[in-house]
Each structure stands twice: as structure tokens, then as C-alpha cells.
């Protein structure tokens, strides 16, 4: 009798599940029996893997490639091996297939060891009582090369464990890559890339079937099969494998026939050693493979050109030169030459002149004037006074030690005048120039920025040819700085605005003029010279000659001099560095007729007074066109003329306070600043003077007082006690001043004509000097005098 179930109602299983239940139970039973050892073994492997990590750190030779990926320089490892890293993309399908077919045809199917092959080898070795067959897979060979040991059964087990570690950590292609990087090829050559470069002078992905097969034979007998010495034996072994693969139909009949017919003439060559200075520089990054942007063909041409040019300078005792070429469209480095001859030990050929810190001379002036344009201080036609100046004891001089009076900004830049540059920097503020140089990665300027003064614009700072060439590339890129790209890995570069497009364009127009004093003498090869803009520079003491030029395509930086720092009288940027600059442009951009820079939208043209470069007033009669930046460039009208009330005989001038009711007339006089009046007086240049002001006038004048130019305020002067020399008194006054009065320690000393020089012998200690003009305007300063026994 069935008793009904009184609990919860059970859902009956489908019939198919009921049938499969015994199978699942059996499977779980089997897993409990066999799975536990497997799981235990796996956990033991993980523990051993943690306790004995895989020694897979491999030191590779640093290799340098050009823009096409060809090896152009390489360095030995610390253990003096040529071990060049083969990248995954260099393992061609042919190379992969050939190596796998020869060394381990089941490589992509086994877990690191081949149990069948190991069992077969074990049986053969036992039966014959000696080692007749090996069973090492590619993974096991990698393990053995990473941790070389004597061939014992214990070490074989360790090798098996390391093989499992490799398979756990890397995929198959990475293991094959490790194998190809570590396989020995005799001597100090390891890896297929090293062998390919040294024996066949090509990258591994360009190897033929015959070459790959020949190389694959050498690791088995690296000491007896030496490429270039045992080529006949290598060919014999190579052909055996080719016939074997033909029988197995691994390759097509045509591929086998071509490989059998291919001769083997390879011998060990030298590793390429181009761009040595750049290679040494880039090696410090630590990367095993550095893909540069160097265009090798251009590099080799320029290396020979620089070497030949330096030989012509040797008679002048000038021995070194450096060249950098940048592609303005991509900002990539095209050529890098650190010295005329890297192997010239006599003249320091291994010194990298492109990275050496040198004085830049006048080469920073284009950037300065561009900043002055952007800050509304100058335009190309605006005038600057080129006359003696003294800034707290710093009195710059021009290259020829002459003065030019009024000059335009573009004239000052074309002629590389020093005094207008210093004046412009004073007006701009050196901090603004330093800030822009920091943005252009000037490392030494950044380091010394607190010590730099006005002299930095004349070369009183440190810069490298790398930095200077990168700086000049901004003029070809609308004033934007992009850090030069040396390697293909540097794909992202942010542009930094240094100048406006308008300012860069104005500088380009000025620097591209050919009729300039810094045009090299006896240069006749300008017929096919592409249009370029360039600037020269010569450092203090004639130790460095610079010439940096650019057009739309390239920026070229040239440095010429001696690494020893010895100054040479004949050394100058114009006559020594610029000929090399022109020759380089003729080589890389011969007869180029590419368009020049076009006027940007933020640049406009206006009429200005030719005497001041300012918008004309009613009295301006000579007008010229000038570039300017709307709403930025000075809009003040020309004020170089003033209307003066004078007596009928033009001997007395009046102001509105002392102006008589009758007996006067109006006349226009030039406004001459004090420094120009002093320049005219000292050079005996006639100029139109404003008559002496009415002596009966009672007006007190406050503006435009005299400026004492010597002695310098706050300076200590040492005077010989036995033979004291007097100090000179010198001042600058306006065009309306006829007489000045000198006071020493508040006591009247002497009166004189404006512009005249007076002398006095001071007392020891602090000395107060006062200068008053004939309008009552006064200027005081203090100096300190010390008497010494000389």
C-alpha cells in the first residue's frame, strides 16, 4: 500500500536529466580522484614560480635607427655582446615559419615541453647508452639561454620548470622573439638581428629563405660554422634542410629552387656607426631601440661637407663645427653633426658641439625685436638712438665701436647693432625675454635667470646649437614653438606661442634681405641659393661664430669655432659660419622656388613718418610704408618737431609766460633728446638748436632736467694717492638748454656750455655731485672715492 507524501511537493526531473545523473556523478568522482593532484601540482607551480621568479631580464645592445628603420648605430652590452633586440614586427612570416619548422614544428601546440619527443629521446639515449637525441623545444632553449647550466638530469628538470614559467608569462610570439634575441651565432654575436646586420647588412625582416636557413644552422655549431670562413659547409648544411623541406612540401618548389641557387658570400662586417654624437646622447635614455628621425642620405652628405669645409678653416686655426637641420613642416630632426670629425682626437672631435653651452652672440636679437613688436614698443620703421649709453656702469658698444645716431629697428637688426638692442631690452624688460627663452627650453638660461642682465642680448648667457635652432624654427611657424622631435616615438608635441604671426612675419621680412653687412665676402654661389632668412652672431673674444637660417622647409643652425675656447681674430659669424650655412641650404634645398611667407591677417600696412616711424603729423613731409599690428603698435603721432616762440633775430626763445605782446615769431625746431644732442656735439655734427630761453622768465621748469652720465651714481672710484687723476663731469641736456652749473658737496664748482666736459679732483669719502641747467632743473647723485697706493 503506497503511503502518500505529505511534505512539500517535489518537481519531478525530466527523463533526460535522470538518465544523465549517473554520468555526472562518475565525472565528479573522476575529478576528485585525478583533479586533486592536478590542482595540487598547479598550486605547487605557483608557489615555486613565486619563490623562484623567472630570470628573464635581458640586456640588449642599444641600437639607433634612421627614419626608415635602418640601423645606423649600435652599442655593445656591458658583457661585450652584440645582442640587438628583434621587434615583433621584424619577425616576418618567412622567418617565423623557417625557424619553427627547423627547431620545433609543434611550437604553437605544446605547453612548453613536447612529452612525445622527450619520451622518444629518453628511450633512444637509454638504449644507446649515450646522448644521441635531444628534445628541447624552442621554449626550453630560451629557458637554457636565460639560465645557462651544465647538462644534467636535475638541470633538465629545472629547464622544464623554467619552460612552464615562460609559457605562463608570455605568449608564443613573445617566446619566439626571446629565442631570436638570444640564439648564439658565434663570437660575441647573439640574436638574429645582430647576425642579420653583421653578416648581411640588413634587418631580419628583409632576409631571404636561403639566408634565414643559413643562419638557423650556425647555433647548433657556432664554433665550427663561422660565416665568412666556413661558407661552403654552411651551404652544404643549408641545402640539406632545403631538400628536406622540399620533400615535406613546407615551401613551394620555386621558393626552394631560388634558395638553393642563392650564393652565400656573407662575411662578418662592422656595425654601422653614423651620427655618433646623437647616438651617444640618445643612448642615455636607456631604450634598447631608438627610432630617430634622421634622414641618413642627407646626414652623410652634410657630414662630408662639414668635414671638407673645416679643413679649409684649419689654416686659420679654426678646427671645429657643428650643424643641425630641422624639418619645419614636421619639426623633425633631419641631420645632427656634433663636430667636423668624430674620430679626430687632436681637436676634440668627440665633443658634441651641438649640445655644448656657448655664448650665442647676437643671435637672440630677432626674438627680442619680435617681442618688442608684440608689446607695442616698436615697428620695423620706428627709430632708435644708436648713441653711447651707460646703465649703472654697463656701457655696451657696437661691433665696429662706432655710433650711427638715429636708426630704424630693421636697420638695427640688419646691421646687428648692439646699443639699440640693449636699449630695446631695457624698454621691454629682461624678465619677459627670459620667460620666453624658458618656454623654448633654454636650460642654462633657466638656471642662470637670476644672474642675467642686459648683456644677455649680446651673448651674455649660455645656449646650445640645439636650443638656438629650435628657437629659430618659430619664425617659420607663425611664432609658435614646437620642441624639435628627435625620435619617432615623440608623436605629441604641444605648440607654445612665443610671437604673434605678425611679429614673426616682420622679422622674416627683415632677415631675408640680401643687401646686408653680414653677407659673406666673396660668396658667389647665390644663383641657385633658395630664399632664406638668416642671422649671424659672434661671441665676445671671437670664440664662437653662429649663423642660423630658415625658410618654409628647413631651419639650419651652424656653429663654428674651437672646443678649446681659443679666440681667433678671423672668426666671425658672417665670414666663417654663413658660407657653411649657404652651402648646406644649397645641398638640401637646391634651387628651390617655393613660396615665401605670406602676410598674416593680424599684420597691416600704414604710412609713417620716415624720421620717427610713427603715424605722421601735419608737419611730416617724408612718408614711408611700414608694417604694424592694429591696436597693438604705437598709435601716437609723430612728435619730432615742436613750434617755438622766438625773437625776430632767433636768438631768444619764449614760453607762454614770458611771451611778449609783440616782437616775436613762430618757428618749427626738431625735438632732439639729450643723448642725441651729446652725440651731435661730440661728433661735431651741426643741428638746429633752440635759442636760449628768455633769461628774464620767472617760470620754474620741472621736466627734462639734466642727466649726469659720468661719474656713475653709486660707484666707488679708486684714485692713486701719489698721482691723483681728476674725474670727468659729463651730462646730457635737452635742445633748449645752453648752459649747465656743477656743484660738489653742495658748493658751486664750475659753469660751462651744454655738452662741455669738466674735470675735478674729489676728496676721499662720499661725494655729492649736482648738475643744474639754465632753467633751474637739477639732478643729484652720490659716489664714493677711495685713495689707494698703486
Joined together, the cell numbers standing for residue 289 give 631601440
On the 0-12 / 13-18 / 19+ scale of CB atoms within 10 A, 370 is: buried
Provide the 3-class DSSP secondary structure of residue 536.
Answer: strand
Q: What is the 3-state secondary structure (H, E, C) of 671-723?
A: CCCHHHHHHHHHCCCCCCCCCEECCCCCCCCCCCCCEEEECCCCCEEEEECCC
Angle of helix 138-146 relative to helix 153-169, nearest 10 degrees, comes to 110
Q: Which residues contact 327 (CB under 8 A, 6 or more apart)?
A: 293, 333, 334, 553, 554
Active site annotation includes 103: yes
Q: Which residues contact 604 (CB under 8 A, 6 or more apart)?
A: 627, 628, 629, 630
545 phi, psi to nearest 5 deg = -120, 125
Joined together, the cell numbers standing for residue 654 give 619764449
Joined together, the cell numbers standing for residue 600 give 598674416
Do 472 and 453 contact (CB within 8 A), yes or no? no
* Residue 198 DSSP one-character state: I
One of 103, 410, 466, 675 is an active-site residue; which one? Answer: 103
Joined together, the cell numbers standing for residue 741 give 652749473
Joined together, the cell numbers standing for residue 504 give 614673426
The strand pairing partners of 448, in sequence order, are none
* Closest CA relative to residue 577, chosen from 559, 557, 550, 556: 559
Q: What is each CA distance from 748 to 354, 698, 740, 768, 779, in whole angstroms?
A: 60, 22, 12, 12, 14
Peptide bond preceding 509 in cis form (omega within 30 of 0) = no
With vertex at residue 490, the alpha carbon angle to CA 475 and CA 306, rounded to the nearest 5 degrees, is 60
User: Would residue 556 be called left, alpha or beta, if left means φ above 0 and alpha means ψ between -120 and 50 degrees?
Assistant: beta
Joined together, the cell numbers standing for residue 431 give 624678465
One of 194, 216, 335, 362 is an active-site residue; which one? Answer: 362
Active site annotation includes 564: no
- Separation between Cα atoms, residue 590 and residue 713, nearest integer Å: 56
* Residue 450 DSSP one-character state: T
- Separation between Cα atoms, residue 709 and residue 699, nearest integer Å: 27
Do 588 and 554 contact (CB within 8 A), yes or no? yes
CA atoms within 13 A on the CB side of 723: 1
* Residue 574 DSSP one-character state: I
Q: In this structure, which long-range contacts are made by residues 611-616, counting pairs with CB atoms below 8 Å and at least 24 apart in sequence?
A: 611/383, 611/406, 611/638, 611/640, 612/382, 612/383, 612/638, 612/639, 612/640, 613/379, 613/380, 613/381, 613/382, 613/383, 613/408, 613/409, 614/382, 614/638, 614/639
Do 275 and 64 contact (CB within 8 A), yes or no? yes
- Separation between Cα atoms, residue 350 and residue 226, nearest integer Å: 34
Other beta carbons less than 10 A from residue 98's beta carbon: 23
Residues taking part in catalysis: 103, 362
Amino acid at each position: 500500500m503506497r503511503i502518500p507524501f505529505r511534505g512539500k511537493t517535489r518537481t519531478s526531473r525530466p527523463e533526460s536529466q535522470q538518465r544523465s545523473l549517473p554520468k555526472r556523478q562518475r565525472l565528479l568522482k573522476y575529478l576528485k580522484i585525478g583533479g586533486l593532484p592536478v590542482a595540487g601540482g598547479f598550486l605547487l607551480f605557483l608557489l615555486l614560480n613565486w619563490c623562484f621568479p623567472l630570470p628573464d631580464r635581458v640586456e640588449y645592445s642599444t641600437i639607433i635607427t634612421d627614419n626608415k628603420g635602418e640601423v645606423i648605430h649600435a652599442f655593445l652590452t656591458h658583457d661585450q655582446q652584440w645582442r640587438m633586440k628583434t621587434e615583433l614586427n621584424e619577425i616576418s612570416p618567412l622567418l617565423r615559419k623557417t625557424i619553427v619548422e627547423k627547431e620545433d614544428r609543434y611550437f604553437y601546440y605544446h605547453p612548453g615541453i613536447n612529452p612525445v619527443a622527450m619520451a622518444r629521446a629518453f628511450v633512444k639515449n637509454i638504449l644507446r647508452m649515450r646522448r644521441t637525441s635531444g628534445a628541447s623545444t624552442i621554449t626550453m632553449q630560451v629557458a637554457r639561454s636565460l639560465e645557462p647550466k651544465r647538462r644534467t638530469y636535475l638541470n633538465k628538470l629545472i629547464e622544464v620548470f623554467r619552460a612552464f614559467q615562460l609559457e605562463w608569462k608570455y605568449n608564443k610570439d613573445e617566446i619566439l622573439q626571446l629565442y631570436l634575441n638570444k640564439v648564439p651565432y658565434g663570437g660575441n654575436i647573439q640574436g638574429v638581428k645582430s647576425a642579420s646586420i653583421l653578416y648581411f647588412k640588413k634587418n631580419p625582416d628583409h632576409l631571404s629563405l636561403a639566408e634565414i636557413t643559413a643562419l638557423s644552422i650556425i647555433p647548433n655549431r657556432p664554433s665550427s660554422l663561422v660565416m665568412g670562413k666556413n661558407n661552403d659547409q654552411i651551404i652544404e648544411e643549408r641545402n640539406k634542410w632545403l631538400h628536406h623541406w622540399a620533400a615535406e612540401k613546407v615551401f613551394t618548389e620555386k621558393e626552394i629552387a631560388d634558395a638553393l641557387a642563392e650564393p652565400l658570400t656573407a662575411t662578418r662586417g662592422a656595425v654601422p656607426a653614423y651620427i655618433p654624437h646623437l647616438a651617444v646622447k640618445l643612448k642615455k635614455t636607456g631604450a634598447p631601440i631608438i627610432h630617430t628621425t634622421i634622414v641618413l642620405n642627407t646626414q652623410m652628405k652634410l657630414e662630408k661637407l662639414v668635414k671638407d669645409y673645416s679643413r679649409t678653416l684649419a689654416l686659420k686655426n679654426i678646427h671645429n663645427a657643428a650643424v643641425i637641420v630641422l624639418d619645419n613642416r614636421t619639426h623633425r630632426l633631419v641631420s645632427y653633426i656634433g663636430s667636423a670629425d668624430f674620430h679626430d682626437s687632436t681637436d676634440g672631435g668627440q665633443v658634441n658641439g651641438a649640445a655644448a653651452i656657448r655664448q650665442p652672440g647676437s643671435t637672440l636679437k630677432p626674438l627680442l625685436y619680435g617681442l618688442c613688436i608684440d608689446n607695442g614698443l616698436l615697428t620695423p620703421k620706428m627709430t632708435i638712438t644708436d648713441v653711447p649709453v651707460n646703465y649703472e656702469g654697463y656701457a655696451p658698444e657696437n661691433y665696429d665701436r662706432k655710433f650711427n645716431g638715429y636708426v630704424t629697428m630693421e636697420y638695427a637688426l640688419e646691421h646687428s647693432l648692439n646699443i639699440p638692442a640693449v636699449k630695446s631690452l631695457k624698454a621691454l624688460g629682461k624678465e619677459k625675454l627670459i620667460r620666453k627663452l624658458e618656454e623654448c627650453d633654454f636650460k642654462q638660461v633657466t638656471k642662470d635667470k637670476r644672474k642675467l642682465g642686459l648683456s644677455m642680448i649680446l651673448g651674455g648667457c649660455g645656449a646650445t646649437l640645439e636650443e638656438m635652432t629650435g628657437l629659430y624654427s618659430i619664425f617659420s611657424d607663425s611664432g609658435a614653438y614646437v620642441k624639435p622631435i628627435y625620435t619617432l616615438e615623440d608623436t605629441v608635441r604641444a605648440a607654445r606661442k612665443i610671437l604673434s604671426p605678425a611679429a614673426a612675419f616682420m622679422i622674416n621680412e627683415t632677415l631675408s634681405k640680401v643687401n646686408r653687412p653680414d653677407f659673406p665676402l666673396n660668396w658667389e654661389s647665390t644663383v641657385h641659393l633658395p630664399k632664406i632668412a638668416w642671422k649671424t652672431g659672434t661671441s665676445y673674444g671671437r670664440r664662437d661664430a653662429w649663423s642660423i637660417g630658415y625658410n618654409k622647409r628647413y631651419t639650419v643652425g651652424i656653429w663654428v669655432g674651437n672646443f678649446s675656447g681659443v679666440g681667433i681674430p678671423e672668426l666671425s659669424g658672417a665670414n666663417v659660419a654663413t658660407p657653411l650655412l649657404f652651402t648646406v641650404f644649397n645641398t638640401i634645398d637646391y634651387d628651390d622656388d617655393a613660396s615665401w611667407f605670406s602676410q598674416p591677417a593680424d599684420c597691416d600696412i600704414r604710412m609713417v613718418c620716415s624720421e620717427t616711424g610713427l603715424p605722421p603729423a601735419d608737419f611730416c613731409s617724408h612718408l614711408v610704408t611700414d608694417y604694424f599690428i592694429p591696436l597693438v603698435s604705437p598709435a601716437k603721432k609723430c612728435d619730432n618737431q615742436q613750434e617755438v616762440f622766438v625773437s625776430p633775430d632767433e636768438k631768444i626763445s619764449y614760453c607762454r609766460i614770458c611771451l611778449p605782446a609783440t616782437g616775436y615769431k613762430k618757428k618749427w625746431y626738431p625735438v632732439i633728446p639729450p643723448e642725441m644732442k651729446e652725440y651731435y656735439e661730440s661728433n661735431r655734427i651741426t643741428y638746429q638748436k633752440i635759442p636760449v630761453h628768455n633769461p628774464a622768465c620767472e617760470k620754474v621748469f620741472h621736466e627734462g632736467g639734466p642727466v649726469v652720465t659720468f661719474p656713475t651714481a653709486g660707484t666707488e672710484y679708486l684714485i692713486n694717492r701719489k698721482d691723483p687723476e681728476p674725474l670727468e663731469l659729463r651730462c646730457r641736456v635737452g635742445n633748449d638748454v645752453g648752459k649747465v652749473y656743477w656743484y660738489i658737496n653742495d658748493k658751486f664748482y664750475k659753469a660751462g656750455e651744454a655738452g662741455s666736459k669738466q674735470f675735478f679732483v674729489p676728496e676721499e669719502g662720499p661725494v655729492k655731485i649736482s648738475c643744474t641747467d639754465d632753467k633751474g632743473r637739477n639732478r643729484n647723485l652720490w659716489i664714493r672715492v677711495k685713495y689707494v697706493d698703486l
